[in-house]
Amino acid sequence: MSSNNGRPILEDVNVIVAGQGGDGSLTVITMLAELLRTNGLNVYTERDVLSRIRGGHAAATMRAFAGDRYCIGSSINLLVALDEEAVEKNARQLDSRSVVVYDDSGGPVPSVLPQGAIVYSAPFNRIAMRTMRRELYKNSIAFGVVGRLLGLEDETLRETFIKHFQRMGQVILEYNLEALGLGFHLADEKGIHEGEGLYRIKKTAPEKRMLITGNESVAFGFMVAGGRFFCGYPITPSSEILETLQKWLPRCGGVARQTEDELAGINMAIGAALTGTRAMVATSGPGFSLMQEGVGHCGSGEIPLVIVDCQRSGPSTGMPTKPEQSDLNLMVFGGHGDFPRIVLAPGHPDDCFYLTVDATNLADKYQCPVFLAMDQALSQNIATVEPFNLDGVSAVPGKRVEAEDIEKAGVYKRYEFTEDNISAFAAPGTPGGMSLVTGNEHNEWGLVSTDPVNRVKMMNKRMDKIKAAKSELPTARHFGDKDAKIGFIGIGSLFGVILEAMEDLEREGVKTRYLQPRTVWPVLEDVLAFIDKCSRVYVVELNAQAQLAHILVHQGADPGKIINILKYDGIPFRPAELAKRVLGEEGRMIKKGKKEAKLQ
């Protein structure tokens, strides 16, 4: 172990705590994240759980860093393994410099660790059972050891416990403090004394930052955009949006309702939208499939609605707790018939906030369904973000008519043909604004019509709305070397992974640039222009069919320039893994180039 003076300052560290579901891995990580944040570091946490209530392998990962990182790093510095399986499942993320804290109550550490990894074994479980008669306290004992290893002071660890456990009552707090003390004792036995861990903590005055998930950021964005009606049916990984809004929306006079199913969800939100209320639903793949009929109805009836799809692994019920981006086709092409829609894709919790505000405004303005393409990692991982800037966003009302306007005009048509193809909306309750809203083809008055001339005009009116909207849809963000010939495109939680893989590639001498499309549909010019400018573009996706790449090619991108990098094993990309895949492709390109040169 390095000497006191040689210890590095904690600038970027990845920690996994793993065990069985219910072992408290998430609790340990959450407390650590809180603690390191108060020391001025940024944090990012990820969880890996099985879709079951209790038991099964469960891991929580935390990265604490000074500066900007938007994903878990490539290798794990510290693994806290509460059982054998925890080592086996996570060994592939370790390297020769990793440190493993292992609960050897059940037997010695499995021999799957990389050469050079340092192991601290201690029977947390046995100590907890022997001293405290409860297995439950093993994670608190482990926390003591981990805290010491990270270079944190005993007192700050104790304070964290007090803050965390006080809510649960004095007795629970005292037991946990006792367990923490046992952890310190154990650390002493292992020679990890206070202030002699692996790192030195540089105390900085903590900047005020939020620690928030993508789902919570979406909920807040909707609220700030004047969203006042939300419906949801619990489904992983979207449920936190429902839970957050149930807590906060009523305080602003809004309604957040758990419905009997997804069909009720989308239709209840439609009912609210019909009154002029800004409405949103959130779901995941299987629920989104159920909502398709309602989606098309919004398109045909020109009903504004925001629909959040927190994508998880499919098809069908798939892997509910694993990230994927395989509903893009359903968002872009789903539903029967032709109708306009907008699909936005945020890449980080702050992006989730600002794009939800945009989505809510756009739905109201263009009177159509607007989707937010999330993925499980983006939805549920916790990140530090700058406090959302409320002055930087505004809720822009859509085209409305009030009683006086109607009075003056002397006529009101819900689906009036207009210059910009958007018909003004009269909210129910407005005298003179009576109208019919229907999914059936209708004339300007809303009366059902199969007249072919009207049909074509009405269809064009709806489809053309979005053409006009293109100029004000959220544009892509550009990163990296402007002159690089090799490009990246990727959305959602891949944002952070790509940014960091680019650094790895740069170190290998490969210069790249990255375009993060924030509007997926309609495909905007800037995305196509980016592909044009590059020699080749790696389109990175968490799905098996390269759905995003297909959408881009469908809209005019040169398929010869696109190289698909796909992952659909349910495990988030690590930056090094992505960089390696790209290097592999680059190697093949070089070989191919040489071969071609020879053949000439």
Least distance to another protein, CB of residue 24, Å: 22
CB of 437 to another protein, least distance (A): 5
Q: Smallest gap, in angstroms, from Cβ of residue 309 to another protein?
A: 20
> How buried is 590 (Cβ within 10 angstroms: 0-12 exposed, 13-18 middle, 19+ buried)?
exposed
Secondary structure (3-state) at 98: strand
CB of 285 to another protein, least distance (A): 21
CA 371/CA 295 separation, integer angstroms: 10
Are the CB atoms for 60 and 28 separated by under 8 Å?
yes
Minimum CB separation of residue 269 from another protein in Å reads: 6
- In whole angstroms, the minimum distance from the beta carbon of 38 to another protein comes to 5
Query: Is residue 512 within a helix (H) or strand (E), and if so which, with residue range?
Result: strand 512-516
Q: CB nearer to another protein: give 281 or 563.
A: 281
| SS3 sequence of 214-279 | HHHHHHHHHHHCCEEEEEECCCCCCHHHHHHHHHHHHHHCCEEEECCCHHHHHHHHHHHHCCCCEE
Residue 165 or 412 with smaller CB distance to another protein = 412
361: left (phi over 0), alpha (psi -120 to 50) or beta: alpha
Nearer to another protein, 80 or 212 (CB): 212
What are the tokens at 141?
A: 């004992």
Do the Cβ atoms of 259 and 231 come closer than 8 Å?
Answer: yes
Closer to another protein by CB, 267 or 381: give it. 267
> Which one, 186 or 406, has the nearer CB to another protein?
406
Among 378, 397, 360, CA closest to 281: 360
Choice between 160 and 512, CB closer to another protein: 160
Count of alpha carbons within 13 Å of 391, Cβ hemisphere only? 0
Closest separation between CB of residue 429 and another protein, Å?
6
For residue 399, the minimal CB distance to another protein (Å) is 12
Q: Which is nearer to another protein, 264 or 589 (CB)?
A: 264
Tokens encoding 315: 């098809």
Cβ closer to another protein: 228 or 513?
A: 228
Q: What are phi and psi of 150, to 5 degrees?
A: -75, -5
Shortest reach from residue 88's CB to another protein, in Å: 35
Q: How far apart are CA 506 and CA 512, in angstroms?
A: 7
Q: Based on CB atoms, which residue is closest to another protein, 28 or 546?
A: 28
Task: Say how far apart CA 496 and CA 514 lie, in whole Å.
Answer: 11
Q: Label each residue of 447-505 as H, E or C.
A: CECCCHHHHHHHHHHHHHHHHHHHHHCCCCEEEECCCCCEEEECCCCHHHHHHHHHHHH
